[in-house]
Structure 1
Amino acid sequence: MSVVVVGSVNRDVVARVARIPGPGETVLASSLSRTGGGKGANQAVAAARAGGAAVAFVGAVGDDADGAALRDGLLADGIDVTGLVGVPGATGTALISVGDDGENAIVVVAGANAARSDLTSVQRERVGEADVLATQLEVPLALVTAAAAARRAGAWHVLNAAPSSPLVDAHVDAVDGLLADVDVLIVNEHELRDIAAMSSLEAVSLDAAVDAVAARVPALIVTLGADGCLVATPTGRRRIAAHPTRAVDTTGAGDTFCGVFAASLAASGASAGKADIEVFAAAARIASAAAALAVRSPGAQEAVPTVADVAGLLSEAGAAR
């Protein structure tokens, strides 16, 4: 079984602060670190550590030291990087502030991630080998669309529509075309409401937003932080409870969820269009456990748990029932 992730890879520059500064405010950081990040790369690492599937990454880095180091980091997790191309210029960078409460504020400079809007022949070959294709929206929308079109029959396309702004800003025909090529859409509540074109967070219920978006894709997963996640398909809904945890750093928790979900879906052996809600719910339970572990440690890729860690938490949760 194989997972191919098409997406972004960034150098994360992380400042630890007592609290996230407000507009015009300066705060002093207690530490600064430089780590591997980017939604695509984070999800590839999560899928690789989940076990059960070979993982390949398709993306772009610059011709700088960060690009070489990030490539080496992916290789260290056993990820196939033959689809990671080098382009002139800087590698993507994310500037991240993390508060003592675990919340974060992130500014992303796309760099090499914005350099390509189509796949190379090698990248197309990698995508064509996937049982599960995982994409996000930190790369050009055209690249995501090209990847969806390149997958083989029966392969899953799992889109994590984060950040949601590219879909909100895109022409309606482009959005309709992309969503028509999605088998599983993963979003948080804010992204869900954006895609549902609902602007008032207070006046619009979660159920109404789920109804609006679930009608457009075969399966919808809504991550809800401490409230767990919701799985919605044409045959019903399942609410997956969150695992109690103390958040040290929420950076990359959503990516951990998505990567582990993709690996679990691949391990299920089900083909796109031939799975019921129980397959999605089972994958979401494993992904929720992984995300709960990820927020207990600082960093994005550094905090991604191993398959043994996740199995241990699930075992503890089962024994506590």
Structure 2
Amino acid sequence: MAAPRVIHTAQALVDAVLEIPALPARGGNVMAESYRRYAGGAVTILLAAARSGAHAVHAGAVGTGPNGDIVRAALAADGVEVSAPPVPDVDTGVCVVLVEPTAERTFVTTLGAERTITPESLQTSEPRPGDLVCVSGYSLLGRTRDPLVAWLTSLPDGVVVVLDPGAALVEVDAAVRDTVLRRTDVWTGNTDEADALAGVRGIREAVQVVAGMLRPDAVTIVRDGPRGCLVREGSEQVFVPGHPRRPVDTNGAGDTHTGVLLAERAAGLSWTEAAARANAAGALKVTRRGPDTAPTRAEIDAFLAGRPA
């Protein structure tokens, strides 16, 4: 039997990354110290999963034009399948990323072909029981919301729905949010996202509230930056320690964590074991510039063994 696949439904974008000394005051100006374009968004999770050995599939929409070409080339380089046909006459959108010396980042995102999905285009990925289908909270806003929810609610039992809430989930219509949460098998986000959804502060308090919104057998994972992450399965929860590192760029760290987490789960590890490797991947990622610099499985092995990655 084939191993489960990692399927992502969200927006693949081009990240236009500018390193700046500081954000300017409103109406002000700042000189960028560097500028580079990367494939980002859902691409980061898919590359991280593929580099840890998963069969990864992008089910979202990719445009026709130079931005879409960047996305397709990045996915193809790591063997990630693109299941849906290109969107004709519309290019993929851009996310402008402003990175400060502290590694903090600020985003401004345009809308393009990546928002053009249908239940039929998503179904080109042909999810089967055991596959891990990743959904972004950002896809539950705007024109992607209705086709995504219609498709999600039609998925057969056994397809594992993984919700990456992002900061957007709390903005989603409550009825839509509840429908998606009821179909969610795995919730994985950071402490700010958990606190916002739960309405309480504190990782242990928030994870309990979030878990109560999901199926009784669902898994809830809350990342706490370099400190690690809390993994809750049913009523059992374990804190998996992280690996603090001096960051140069945090853009894509959470997505790298998610991609490795899902790849290792697809390979047969427990959620706690998968989270330990995802924590190591996130620690490596923040020492590298760009959202497409997720480590390979060999690099994670070397890191955990104490060897230079």
Q: TM-score, normalised by structure 2?
A: 0.89
**55-64 vs 144-153, greater mean Cα deviation:** 144-153
Task: Evaluate the alpha carbon distance shift between residue 237 and residue 159 of structure 1 in structure 2; reply closer, same or farther with a 3 A threshold.
Answer: same
Asked if the contact 1:61/1:87 (under 8 Å) is kept, the reply is: no
Counterparts of residues 1-321 of structure 1 (less than 5 Å): 1=3, 2-38=5-41, 40-51=42-53, 53-83=54-84, 85-116=86-117, 118-120=118-120, 123-129=122-128, 131-139=131-139, 140-162=144-166, 164-165=167-168, 167-197=169-199, 204-217=201-214, 218-268=218-268, 279-301=270-292, 303-316=293-306
CA RMSD after TM alignment:
2.0
* Cα-to-partner distance string for 1:187-244 (whole Å, 9 max, x where unaligned): 111111221245xxxxx43333222111122111111112211112223111111113
Determine helix, strand or coil for the equivalent of 1:232: strand
Q: 1:186 to 1:21 in 2, by over 3 A?
A: farther
State the partner residue of 1:274: none
- 1:3 Cα deviation (Å)? 1.3
The gaps in structure 1 that reach 5 residues or longer are 199-203, 270-278
Structure 1 residues 94 and 42, CA, compared in 2 at 3 Å: closer, same or farther?
Answer: same
What's the secondary structure of 2:60's corresponding residue? strand
Q: 1:84 to 1:267 in 2, by over 3 A?
A: farther
- 8 Å CA contact 1:44–1:259 kept in 2: the answer is yes
Residue by residue over 1:117-150, the C-alpha shift from the partner in whole angstroms, topping out at 9 and shown as x without a partner, is x2225x3141424621112133323344244335
SS in 2 for 1:105: strand
> How far apart, in 1, do the equivalents of 2:115 and 2:199 lie?
25
**Unmatched segments (≥5 aa) in structure 2:** none
Partner of residue 275, structure 1: none
User: After alignment, is 152-161 or 291-300 more displaced?
Assistant: 152-161
Paired amino acid for 2:281: A
Change (3 A) 1:215 1:82: same
With over 3 angstroms needed to count, the CA separation of the structure-2 counterparts of 1:241 and 1:307, relative to structure 1, is same
Cα distance in 1 between the residues matched to 2:283 and 2:151: 30
* Deviation, structure 1 residue 92: 1.5
What secondary structure is seen at the aligned counterpart in 2 of 1:305?
A: coil
Aligned AA (1:309): E
- How far apart are 1:267 and its partner, in Å? 0.9
Displacement, 1:14? 0.7
Cα distance in 1 between the residues matched to 2:157 and 2:124: 14
Distance 2:256 2:194 in 1: 19
User: Taking structure 1 as the reference length, what is the TM-score of the superposition?
Assistant: 0.86
Alpha-carbon deviation of 1:156?
1.4
Q: Secondary structure at the match of 1:240?
A: strand
Identical aligned residues as a percent = 30
Count of aligned residue pairs for this structure pair: 296
Partner Cα distance (1:188, 1:126) in 2 = 28
* Corresponding letter in the other structure for 1:120: E
Cα distance in 1 for partners of 2:303, 2:99 equals 25
Tell me how far apart the structure 1 counterparts of residues 40 and 68 of structure 2 sit (CA, whole Å).
11
* 8 Å Cα contact 2:185-2:219 kept in structure 1: yes
